[in-house]
A = this chain, B = another copy of it.
Amino acid sequence: MHRTEDRPVILADPHARAWSPETARLRFREGLAGPTAGVAAGHTQANLIAVPADWAYDMLLFCQRNPKPCPVLDVTDAGSWTTVLADGADLRTDLPRYRVWRDGELVEEPTDVRAYWRDDLVAFLLGCSFTFEWALSTAGVPIRHVEQGRNVPMYVTGRQCRPAGRLRGPMVVSMRPVPPEHLGAAIRESSLLPAVHGGPVHCGDPAALGIEDLGRPDFGEPVAAAPDDIPVFWACGVTPQAAVMASRPPFALTHAPGQMFLTDARDEQYRVAGAG
């Protein structure tokens, strides 16, 4: 299948940073597609994975057992396409782009999945690292991929997640190059957001995670680093897609990597209260 490459939404419309989440969802419903880093800044973005009800327990347990890559923000009731995280949203239409999976194979990347929806689908919305980019940015940490107008690079690692029932697979990470003088702030600020992956899983040599070439990410786009930058790796919400590939449930719907669901929640509400 041809993989679709969309331009970042922020490049397509510079006003997207100031959109309300509702405006963003409506624009995506109308067909706009692209990576959502920086869109509706300050509002929480979420990964989507929907599986048939008879796989829902395995998926929820997989998330519980792997909370860094899979921090659950909401789970819908079977067949429902609404969520408590966004008033009036339709999970079948309001993401920029989706992926349709059959038996672990990616078969389609549509911008609307109403034709694929099933009455037995349970949708999981998982925290996304775009959320802590707001906190990092506020703390003065440069976000290279946003500066360069690219999707964040993501890599399949050699680390296996803890299996749950029929689900298993490797951990996927996102990578941001961080100048050494900002490393402390990057670790501290993301650690205070445990609901959106929390602190990094690794800093430095990518080989420690089994990543051979930072220039060839498995998802997203490569990002240019300054000479002194240290690569910092955070657990990534694309991990359930790697579990789908490895475990081959008969059917699944997900977001396209980097093209997230915009919730009405504010990033601050996931920050550990009382800290700082």
State A174–B149 Cα separation when bound (angstroms): 49
Task: Name the residue on B nearest A185 (C-beta).
Answer: B274
Asked if residues B64 and A274 are in contact (CB atoms below 8 Å), the reply is no
Q: Within the complex, what minimum Cβ distance (angstroms) separates A209 from chain B?
A: 18
A1 at the interface (CB under 8 A from B): no
State A275–B193 Cα separation when bound (angstroms): 11
Asked if residues A194 and B272 are in contact (CB atoms below 8 Å), the reply is yes
Q: Which of A55-109 contact B (CB under 8 A)?
A: 56-57, 60-61, 64-65, 72, 75
Copies per assembly: 2
Asked if residues B72 and A274 are in contact (CB atoms below 8 Å), the reply is no
A21 at the interface (CB under 8 A from B): no
Sampled A-B contacts (20; CB under 8 Å)? A56-B57, A57-B57, A60-B61, A64-B64, A64-B75, A187-B273, A187-B274, A190-B274, A191-B272, A191-B273, A191-B274, A192-B272, A192-B274, A192-B275, A198-B273, A199-B274, A272-B272, A272-B275, A275-B275, A275-B276
By a beta-carbon cutoff of 8 Å, the part of chain A in contact with chain B is 56-57, 60-61, 64-65, 72, 75, 187-188, 190-192, 194, 198-199, 272-276
